[in-house]
Amino acid sequence: MDAPVPGLDAVPPGDRPPVNITHLAFQSMVSIGTLLAAAVILYWLARWRGHDLLGNRWFLRFAVIAGPLAVLCVEFGWVATEVGRQPWAVWQILRTTDAASRSNGLWWSYIGVLVVYLCMTIGACLVLRSMAKRWRAGEEDLPTPYGPPRAERVS
Q: How many domains, the chain?
A: 1
Is 126 part of a structural domain of the chain? yes
pLDDT digits (tens, 9 = 90+) for 26-68: 999 999 999 999 999 999 999 999 998 988 899 999 999 999 9
Look at residues 79, 101, 97 and name the one whose alpha carbon lies nearest to residue 88. 97
Is 154 part of a structural domain of the chain? yes
pTM: 0.67
Alpha-carbon distance of 50 to 103, in angstroms, equals 59
Is 110 part of a structural domain of the chain? yes
pLDDT digits (tens, 9 = 90+) for 77-102: 999 999 998 898 888 899 988 988 88
- Rounded alpha-carbon distances, angstroms, from residue 4 to 7, 10, 91: 9, 12, 20
Is 57 part of a structural domain of the chain? no
Rg (CA), the chain: 24
Domain that holds residue 134: 101-155
